[in-house]
Chain A
Amino acid sequence: MTSKTCLIGLGNILMQDDGIGVHAVREIERRFRFSPQIAIVDGGTLGLALLPLIEGYGRVLFVDAVEAGREPGAVIVREGEEVPACLGAQVSVHQAGLADLLYAARMAGMMPPEVCLVGIQPQAVGLGLEPTPLLRDKREELITSVLARLAAWGIKAADAAHSSDEGGCDVQEMPGPT
Chain B
Amino acid sequence: MSRIGVAFDKARADGRAVLVGCMPAGFPTVEGSIAAMTAMVSAGVDVIEVEIPYSDPVMDGPVIQRASDIALAGGVRTRDTLRVVEAVAATGAPVVTMTYWNPVERYGVDAFARDLASAGGTGLVTPDLIPEEAGEWLAASDAYGLDRTFLVSPSSTDARLAMTVGHCRGFVYATAIMGVTGARAQTSDAAPTLVSRVREVTDLPVGVGLGVGTGAQAGTVAGYADGVIVGSALIRCLLDAPDEASGLAALRALSAELAEGVRTPTR
Pairing of A with B = no
